[in-house]
Each structure stands twice: as C-alpha cells, then as structure tokens.
Structure 1
C-alpha cells in the first residue's frame, strides 16, 4: 500500500501538556520574570485537569528553574528570572543522561576553550591579563602544595580567560564541560605516576598561551590551547576515538 508512512504516537500525560504551555508562555515573553501564574484552582479550570495534575506540572517547572512555588502560598507560582545556574544544571544533566563519551566531551572543551582564548586575545584588558598571569603563578606555587591547590589555580586561569572573552554562555559551558571531564578521569589522574611532570607541562602550556594573548595573536593562542588539551587528555581517551581530537589540531 503506497502513501505516507507515520511514526508511532507517544502517549503524553496531562501534566506534560501543562508544562509545555507554561514553558511556551515564558519563552515567548507572555509571562515575564516576577509575574505569577494563576492559582492552582484557576489552573485546574483553565487546563481542565485535576489538582494533582497541576501540582505535578508545577513540580516539574520548579525543578527546571522556571518557577518558584511556596507551600501554603495563596498566590500562584512566581516566574523566575533566567540564571546561569539553571543552564549549568541543565547541561550537566544532559551530559550525564546522554552518556556522552569522554572523547566528545574533550573535543567540545577544546572548541570552547580555544574560542574563549581567541576572544580574550582580542578583547582582554591589562587587568584581566594580570589575572591570568597571577593564576599561572599560583599553579607554579601549587607544585609544592598539592593537586587540589594546583587544580584550583588552573580553574582560576580558565575562568579569567572566559571572563576576558566576555561571553557568558562560553563561561558556563566551559565550566560544566571541564567539571564533567575532570570527574570522569579523576581516578586515572590520581593514580598517574607522572603527576608532577604533567603539572609542569601544563604550566608551560599556560605560559605559552598567555604570551600569545599578550601579543594579541588570537589564532596562535587558540592553536596552542587545543594542542595543550590534546597532549593532556589524549592518553585518557581510547586510541580508536582520538581521531575526533586530532581533527581540531592544525
């Protein structure tokens, strides 16, 4: 029999339809931060659903950081302003649920960090450059203090670079991806025999990147960053998957 082929229909629960409509109202600007949804009773009437359905929808919306509903509040749930924390939570959940491979995550981090560094080389101020240099100095001092201090200084460097680039979305994404990657290889790093050598190599790479940023050579700084990440992470990625990382090298 010829004709169109259709996909199976997914059953949708009533509360999901409520969530979809409220989300659409927020995304379209019909509902603005600070405004309130109708009361539970009014929502029951408008959506023609039970109180339990309305409350389940509100729980989902609150979990997504879109509204805040206080127990016993006679008013409707309040629409919350967008915050970077909400995106951070969503991205972390996505990375865990989708079971992204370490190779994919490292590749994404290489892209994000090199973009942030490219922007920083062109837009940074002298004060921001000094912040980056101070972070690397703390990394060097941390060789005597231990891994935790070194890691904190390394994070401070990348945060300073991301701020200098001026893109908040890159800042958030970089922070999320870095934390997930570090979590995935934490045990391997802890057991590495050449930790001191790895830290010293990392410091040299950071110093090369800062030198390129100081000169305003964004392409060079970004290229050095991608190479440094490849050198640092490739050994933890299965050999068959390293091609996705090499694809970003010049």
Structure 2
C-alpha cells in the first residue's frame, strides 16, 4: 500500500474553503454580507493578512465583491458563467483538456439542447428561432460579425427552449472557448459567404426538425454539423472522441471547409 504526499495547506485556503462551503449549502446567499475583517479575524483565529488573502482569492473566483470604503462587509455575488469560462479556458491552456474533448462536449451539449427543444419548445420559442434564422439570412452580405451574432441568437433561443439552465450556461462557455481557439477559420476561408450559407442551411434543417418535434433528428444534425465544422482542426489521436458521437451506419458528414 502506498500513500500520496500530503500537501501543506495555508490558513487562507481553509478560510476560503469554509466560506465556499457556506455558499454551497445556502447558508450564505447572493446579496448577503460577510462580517468585517476584524470579526473574521476573531472567528477564524487568523491574522488580517490571512483574511485579506482569502478575500482576494474569493473575489478573483467571482464569489464575493469588496468595495473600498464600503461600511458593510464583502458581498456574496450570484453565480456568473464568467467564472466557469475562466476555469475552462485555464484547463485548455494548461493542456489538461484538448480541443477534441471540448468539441466532443459541445456536440453533447448542442445535441441535447436540440433534442429537448424539439420536445419542449413553445410556439413562441419556435417563432424566436424563426426570427434568428431570418436575421442570419439577411446578414450574409453584411459580413461574418453580424452573421455570427444572429447565429448566436439562434443557439441561445434553442438553449432556452431546452429548459435547462446548465445547458445554457455550459453551451455559452464552451462555444466561446472553442471559437477563441479557432479564430482563423472564417478569416482564411476563400469564400466566406459560401461558408455562411452552409451554416444557414444547417440551421434551417435544425429548425425544421424542432418544428416537426423530431428530437432525434435535431440532435443528430447538431452533432454532424459540429463534426463537419471542427474535425479538421482536431488531432488524429482525438478524432475517435468525435466519431463516437456519429451514427455507425452513417457516413461522416462533409467538411464545412470551402
């Protein structure tokens, strides 16, 4: 039997852990205030510098906000996807998560969002998707920035219709990180409009499947489109991560590359 070496824990880390635990248990809610520094020093039995370091970490993590000169203690903040975005970005940049795994996760998220939207979307939500699709078509001649904004509105409408807050938050974060890693795809495309029209055609198919309440088809379309769009950027070693989400009896979808 072997044991791992014990990592020394600094006092401020224990302070951070206790405050985070109170938040997770609901004992501290957004808008609540922590006690003053002096009171925290007394309760934790640590120095002022330890409390300040703990608060610095908590603020960096987006858990609390301190205002200079504010007579109240640090304020507990509501959850923000910004924190999750930073964490995912850090994982990618330290090579703990590869692009293939990120694209695979997005295939899972978008597929699930499409599936749920097809089953749960109201007529009003489908109308929102219609409006976003029409905006995508109308902005093709205006450039990719405008087109991508309309594209984002379509995905957001689908995610909202899924009724899953987690899907909405995670999809937004993963989409942003993946796109930040591949900034040259559109810029290097010899025909941006052709690429945008392919994307428009895919979104129209998704909307048709959602309107027909065909969740399986809507999910399959999401996975196929993401594979077609990103597979060429994923290493050979990570290709199986994406291919595992494609149907065994269907040929790989054609690349979006022009």
Compared CA separation, residues 38 and 98, structure 1 to 2 (3 A) = farther
- Which residue of 13, 25, 28 corresponds with 2:25? 28
- Which residue of 147, 153, 158 corresponds with 2:155? 158
Where structure 2 has 5 or more consecutive residues not aligned to the other structure, the ranges are: 248-258
- Which residue of 203, 208, 212 corresponds with 2:205? 208
Match of 1:175 in 2: 172
How far off is 1:154 after superposition? Answer: 0.9
2:131 maps to 1:127: no
- Which residue of 50, 54, 60 corresponds with 1:53? 50
Compared CA separation, residues 7 and 192, structure 1 to 2 (3 A) = same
How far off is 1:98 after superposition? Answer: 5.1
Compared CA separation, residues 79 and 143, structure 1 to 2 (3 A) = closer
- Which residue of 146, 149, 163 corresponds with 1:149? 146
TM-score (norm 2): 0.88
Compared CA separation, residues 54 and 178, structure 1 to 2 (3 A) = same
Cα distance in 2 for partners of 1:67, 1:238 equals: 39
Assess if the C-alpha contact under 8 Å between 2:84 and 2:173 holds in 1.
Answer: no
TM-score (norm 1): 0.91
How far off is 1:92 after superposition? Answer: 4.1
Assess if the C-alpha contact under 8 Å between 1:88 and 1:172 holds in 2.
Answer: no
Give deviations 1:117-168, integer Å, cap 9, x for gaps: 1110011111211211221222222221111111111111101100111111
2:15 maps to 1:18: yes
How far off is 1:93 after superposition? Answer: 4.1
| Residue aligned with 1:121, SS | helix
- Which residue of 222, 225, 241 corresponds with 2:222? 225
For the aligned residue pairs, the C-alpha RMSD in angstroms reads 1.9
Assess if the C-alpha contact under 8 Å between 2:92 and 2:98 holds in 1.
Answer: no
Assess if the C-alpha contact under 8 Å between 2:117 and 2:159 holds in 1.
Answer: yes
Match of 1:186 in 2: 183
Match of 1:248 in 2: 245
How far off is 1:61 after superposition? Answer: 1.1
Compared CA separation, residues 194 and 136, structure 1 to 2 (3 A) = same
Give deviations 1:33-54, integer Å, cap 9, x for gaps: 3332222112212222111111
Give deviations 1:50-81, integer Å, cap 9, x for gaps: 11111111111122222222223343222223
Which 10-residue stretch deviates more, 80-89 or 12-21? 80-89
Compared CA separation, residues 74 and 153, structure 1 to 2 (3 A) = closer
Cα distance in 1 for partners of 2:212, 2:8 equals: 58
How far off is 1:244 after superposition? Answer: 1.1
Where structure 1 has 5 or more consecutive residues not aligned to the other structure, the ranges are: none
